[in-house]
Amino acid sequence: MTVRTHQRPNGRRGSLAARLLGAQTLVLLAGAATSYVVASVVAPGTFHTHLQRAGVGHTAAETIHVERAFNDSLLIALGVALVTSVLMALGVTAYFTRRVQRSTAAVAESAADIASGQYGARVPSPGLGSEFDLLATTINELAERLGDVETTRRRILADLAHEMRTPLASIGAHLEAVEDGVRELDETTLAVLHSGTRRLQRLAEDISAVSQAEEGRLESRPVPTLAGTLLESAAATARDAFDAKGVELLVDADTVAGPVLVDPQRMAQVLGNLLDNALRHTPPGGTVKLTVGQPDGRWVELEVADTGEGIDPAHLPHVFERFYRADPARALSRGGSGIGLTISRALVEAHGGRLSASSEGLGEGATFTVRLPVA
């Protein structure tokens, strides 16, 4: 196994500001030296030529003195000007490099904090231009995404540990009873063991699905699909289970509604979870009805309405929370993983829609509405 560690770079190669200052110094000195050499080579000859063309009468000694005076004054003035310019440019460069150093150091520090797991850290705006602002914004968005992933991971681990206790305890208790000779390994015991393992398997699959959905990592292939087709397909898949329990399943997909842009498999998963939830909470002799409607030109609504137990108004705001159960004892006995509605909501929202629940109260049934944008 490879262990990765984050190390801060050493200072052997120098900071960015020091290297910028050094590079700028070399550029300024090279420019000043070049200007001085060129002026000292070109200016005397040019002056001598113009002096001869002027035709001013001078003795040879006077001409030499005039040319020397010109050369000396030119080179002295040029030297002072170049030294002054270099010093002023170095001062401006030093100020700019210090500012760059402070800004980049703040970015590096915040990025190092994020890399070490402090996802609440944020990179301040360096104030060095749009490119650096974009870099800071990108790092901050990455930190927020990592923080959300970490929060999801911790919640899922805690929820998973909590939810696994019951089936594991049941499996362990029956295995110990068989080992101690208290129970026989008969069909009843095997059924309990198989039920516990199936629940653990479904729990693992649902945990994986909900984490991927909430983090936006679920693969989907949206295509224009008729809403009525989605309902009829979901009803056909679930009908055997409804017939076995004696619950009537009705489909009203005759309403003309525009197509929706969805992944049919993901939407089948949503409707399957809603039908499974309705079946668990509807007693034999009850009814579950699937309907489609289009309240306006922008949205299509799919409804799953049952005549079952209903939902207390106090519990309605929490029904889509992971592992939330209004009656834990009854919910556990029915074999649900506790996150089917959470997965459904995440999938619907990933399609740009909304999933809501309504109920008149206990004993009045419940209605779950999937609202999807028209393709």
104-137 pLDDT, tens digit each: 777 777 778 777 777 777 777 766 667 777 877 8
Q: Mean per-residue pLDDT for 16-33?
A: 72
Residue 328 pLDDT class (50, 70, 90 cuts): very low
Top-level class of domain 223-373? alpha beta
Strand (E) or helix (H) holding 316: none
Q: Which one, of 320, 323, 319, lies nearest residue 310 by Cα?
A: 319
Percent share of the chain, pLDDT over 90: 11
Q: Among 32-46, 166-180, 241-255, 329-343, where is mean pLDDT lowest?
A: 329-343
User: Does the pLDDT of residue 360 top 60, yes or no?
Assistant: yes
User: Does the pLDDT of residue 43 top 70, yes or no?
Assistant: no
Cα torsion angle, 344, 349, 350, 353, sign = positive
Residue 27 pLDDT class (50, 70, 90 cuts): confident
What pLDDT score was predicted for residue 274?
92
Q: Mean per-residue pLDDT for 5-29?
A: 61
Residue 202 pLDDT class (50, 70, 90 cuts): confident
Q: Which one, of 169, 155, 271, 265, lies nearest residue 207 by Cα?
A: 155
Q: Among 10-14, 184-188, 241-245, where is mean pLDDT lowest?
A: 10-14
Q: Which one, of 155, 173, 174, 175, lies nearest residue 163 by Cα?
A: 155
304: phi then psi, degrees, rounded to nearest 5: -120, 105
3-state secondary structure of 138: helix
> Are the C-beta atoms of residues 281 and 308 closer than 8 Å to each other?
yes
Cα–Cα–Cα angle for 201, 203, 204, nearest 5°? 65
Strand (E) or helix (H) holding 366: strand 366-373
283: phi then psi, degrees, rounded to nearest 5: -75, 165
Q: Among 145-149, 186-190, 226-230, 260-264, where is mean pLDDT lowest?
A: 145-149
Q: Mean per-residue pLDDT for 129-152?
A: 78
User: Does the pLDDT of residue 172 top 80, yes or no?
Assistant: yes
What pLDDT score was predicted for residue 20?
67
What pLDDT score was predicted for residue 3?
40
Q: Mean per-residue pLDDT for 326-353?
A: 67
User: Does the pLDDT of residue 336 top 50, yes or no?
Assistant: no
DSSP class of residue 349? H
